[in-house]
Amino acid sequence: MGKKFLVLALLLNCWIYQQGIAQSVVEQWGRFEVSFKHQPAKNPFVDDNLSAVFSNGNSKVKVHGFYDGNNTYIVRFMPTKTGTWTYLTSSNIPELNGKKGKFVCKPATDNNHGPVMVRNQYHFAYADSTPYYPFGTTVYSYIHQDNEHVAVALNTLAKSPFNKLRFLIFPQWQDYTKVQTPFFQFEKSKEPLPKKDTILWDYSRFDPAFFRNMEKHIDELAEKGVEADVILFHPYDEGKWGFDKMSHKTDLFYLKYIVARLSSFRNVWWSLCNEFDHFKYKSDADWDDLIATVAKEDPYHHLCSIHNDKRMFNNTNPALTHACVQGGTYVDDFGRAVIQRDAYKKPVVYDEICYEGDIVYRWGNLSAERMVYRYWQGAIAGCYAGHGETFVGKDSVLHLVWGRELRGRSPERIRFLKSIMEETGTLEQIDHFWGMNNMAKSEHGDILIYLGTEAKTEWPFVLSRDLKLPEGTKYTAEIIDTWNMTRTPVPGIFCTTKADAKGIYDNKSRTIGLPGKPYMAILLKPTR
């Protein structure tokens, strides 16, 4: 390289650094990123600040930047509408203050439908109005393994029916999970160690390598159409690293950093904590404060929830967009799942209903039949269930922890339910009355009746009065075998009577014959 060229290159480099490196075109709900080079004077995580206001017509969005290591400061932004966006930075570093720039936001392409939001109070849709039905699974240590293994888990996920993944930010140290992680959230302290095997953290310095690695995996999930339900805190530390014992100040410092990094990722959902009630060192008021912090720092208001074990969080907190509930019992019979929906008046995702598997713990040896049954119980109540798998195998590598392979028989049946829901649209339990709470009406007017474990040979055509159907409403019917994944049309058309004190009937008193097996459902579709 000639000397002149080198000088030119250095000058160009300086100019680029000063202007920031950024894209000129970004998709709607894609990610714009501008980075600036600057050598921090002291601790950039603590002492430096950087933010930017993005403008497009009447829209103005303020976002926080972050320090990414290597003398690099970054601002990320998710444009929520098309057109030209301009930005202006603010910083206590003079060289990064008052930087201007612009980019063009083009319409979204392919499988980019934007972030998922609440739709019709109890359900979900992407920002472009495409319905989203959560059919999630959990792989706790997804990001705490090497990239080769993440690729295996991602491939498993891509072939599964699951469109949401719950995973932990901090590493876990419990049965089946005792594998060291190559990355940590904070830098190790330079203080001398008080005793062997104890790690001390410098809670004022993040390790950006951890976050960059996680972000790569979140983007991979987005490519496969999988929402990333990131669990920001968890209590499964067992004294190993101490991330469950950080001060409230450190918790807030961490949350602000991760929200600055991740809120521009369209597929991110915030899950404040797994089994919050197992946390020894935080009160409900602490959680309220942490939830409020996420809501305040996230300009896009991604979905936000907190997950319980034995004690429910007060899910009426308005910053929680939906209830994320552990509890297999809630979806173990008719008329149960809807109770939480009625109480919280927001969507309920039963994200942990025990796991299909064979481990000794009672939460980890559900049969495939019961898992599928519980999914249907959730669906029929206008709620959603979540999957997890705990077959111990030869190597104790649980899907729940590492996500490598699915061995269970429930995922295919869950896919079958998903296909039915994609056809009917969202479901609402019609009637809360004892004996009539096994039927749902869909947003397209279909009626879905789930018969659960009853092995009936006949379903008498009786619908709930609460449907308020005009006399003479006509339906076609099909028999659904939810276990064998078959759909069998019933010949003829059913036509409703007037309601009496107990129900609505077929005007020719027809019934529907059934094969005397459990796990059957009936789907009625309006016809003329």
Of 95 and 466, the one with the shorter C-beta distance to a second copy is 466
Provide the minimum distance between the beta carbon of 332 and a second copy in the complex, in angstroms, as a whole number.
Answer: 5
Helix runs in 382-485, H state only? 399-402, 410-424
Does residue 501 touch a second copy according to CB under 8 A?
yes
Provide the minimum distance between the beta carbon of 312 and a second copy in the complex, in angstroms, as a whole number.
Answer: 4
Tally of CB atoms within 10 A around 41: 9
Restricting to residues 79-108, name those near a second copy by CB under 8 A.
Answer: none
Provide the minimum distance between the beta carbon of 202 and a second copy in the complex, in angstroms, as a whole number.
Answer: 38
Binder among 109, 360, 395, 509 for a second copy (CB under 8 A): 360
Does residue 361 touch a second copy according to CB under 8 A?
yes
Q: How far is CA 135 from CA 188, 226, 261, 349, 373, in A?
A: 38, 10, 26, 9, 14
DSSP structure class, residue 14: H
Which tokens sit at 321?
């967009």
Whether 61 contacts 142, CB under 8 Å: no
To the nearest 10 degrees (0 to 180), the angle between helices 248-262 and 284-297 is 30
The site string for a second copy over 298-327 (x = CB under 8 A, - otherwise) reads ------------xxx-xxx----------x
Rounded Cα–Cα distance for residues 156 and 276 (Å): 29
Of 310 and 528, the one with the shorter C-beta distance to a second copy is 310
Provide the minimum distance between the beta carbon of 460 and a second copy in the complex, in angstroms, as a whole number.
Answer: 15
Provide the minimum distance between the beta carbon of 457 and a second copy in the complex, in angstroms, as a whole number.
Answer: 23
3-state secondary structure 210-265: HHHHHHHHHHHHHHCCCEEEEEEECCCCCCCCCCCCCCHHHHHHHHHHHHHHHCCC
Q: Name residue 487's amino acid.
A: R
Binder among 14, 21, 199, 343 for a second copy (CB under 8 A): 343
Provide the minimum distance between the beta carbon of 99 and a second copy in the complex, in angstroms, as a whole number.
Answer: 46
Rounded Cα–Cα distance for residues 104 and 26 (Å): 6
Number of residues that bind a second copy (CB under 8 A): 33
Restricting to residues 418-437, name those near a second copy by CB under 8 A.
Answer: 432-434, 437
Does residue 362 touch a second copy according to CB under 8 A?
yes
Provide the minimum distance between the beta carbon of 93 and a second copy in the complex, in angstroms, as a whole number.
Answer: 46
Of 333 and 481, the one with the shorter C-beta distance to a second copy is 333
Write b or e for each residue in 311-340: b if 16 or more Cβ atoms lie within 10 A of its Cβ, otherwise e: ebbebebebbbbbbbbbbebbbebbbbbeb
Three-state SS for 499?
coil
Of 143 and 353, the one with the shorter C-beta distance to a second copy is 353
Whether 302 contacts 270, CB under 8 Å: yes
Provide the minimum distance between the beta carbon of 387 and a second copy in the complex, in angstroms, as a whole number.
Answer: 17
Restricting to residues 122-161, name those near a second copy by CB under 8 A.
Answer: none
Of 257 and 344, the one with the shorter C-beta distance to a second copy is 344
Does residue 285 touch a second copy according to CB under 8 A?
no
Rounded Cα–Cα distance for residues 425 and 442 (Å): 6
Binding segment for a second copy (CB under 8 A), chosen from 9-17, 84-92, 159-167, 337-345, is 337-345
Provide the minimum distance between the beta carbon of 187 and a second copy in the complex, in angstroms, as a whole number.
Answer: 39
Restricting to residues 244-273, name those near a second copy by CB under 8 A.
Answer: none
Binder among 104, 118, 209, 339 for a second copy (CB under 8 A): 339
> What DSSP string describes 138-189?
E-TTTTSS-HHHHHHHHHHHHHSS--EEEEESS---STT-----S--SEEEP
DSSP structure class, residue 289: H
Of 406 and 469, the one with the shorter C-beta distance to a second copy is 469
Does residue 333 touch a second copy according to CB under 8 A?
yes
Q: What is the dihedral of CA 209, 210, 216, 220, to 10 degrees?
A: 160
Provide the minimum distance between the beta carbon of 133 and a second copy in the complex, in angstroms, as a whole number.
Answer: 23
Of 178 and 311, the one with the shorter C-beta distance to a second copy is 311
Q: HSE on the CB side for 216, CA within 13 Å?
A: 12
Q: How far is CA 107 from CA 26, 54, 57, 197, 343, in A?
A: 9, 18, 16, 52, 39
Beta-strand runs (E) in 41-122: 50-56, 59-64, 66-67, 72-77, 83-91, 100-106, 116-119
Q: HSE on the CB side for 275, CA within 13 Å?
A: 14
Beta pairing partners, 348? 323
Binder among 340, 377, 410, 438 for a second copy (CB under 8 A): 340
Of 46 and 343, the one with the shorter C-beta distance to a second copy is 343
Of 223 and 342, the one with the shorter C-beta distance to a second copy is 342
Restricting to residues 445-474, name those near a second copy by CB under 8 A.
Answer: 466
Binder among 95, 332, 369, 412 for a second copy (CB under 8 A): 332
Whether 39 contacts 71, CB under 8 Å: yes
Of 182 and 435, the one with the shorter C-beta distance to a second copy is 435
Of 428 and 443, the one with the shorter C-beta distance to a second copy is 428
Rounded Cα–Cα distance for residues 363 and 277 (Å): 17
Binder among 354, 385, 449, 523 for a second copy (CB under 8 A): 354
Provide the minimum distance between the beta carbon of 173 and a second copy in the complex, in angstroms, as a whole number.
Answer: 19
Rounded Cα–Cα distance for residues 520 and 478 (Å): 11
Provide the minimum distance between the beta carbon of 84 and a second copy in the complex, in angstroms, as a whole number.
Answer: 42
Of 112 and 340, the one with the shorter C-beta distance to a second copy is 340
Does residue 347 touch a second copy according to CB under 8 A?
no
Does residue 344 touch a second copy according to CB under 8 A?
yes
Q: By the criterion CB under 8 A, which residues form the site for a second copy?
A: 310-312, 314-316, 327-330, 332-336, 339-340, 342-345, 354, 360-363, 432-434, 437, 466, 501-502
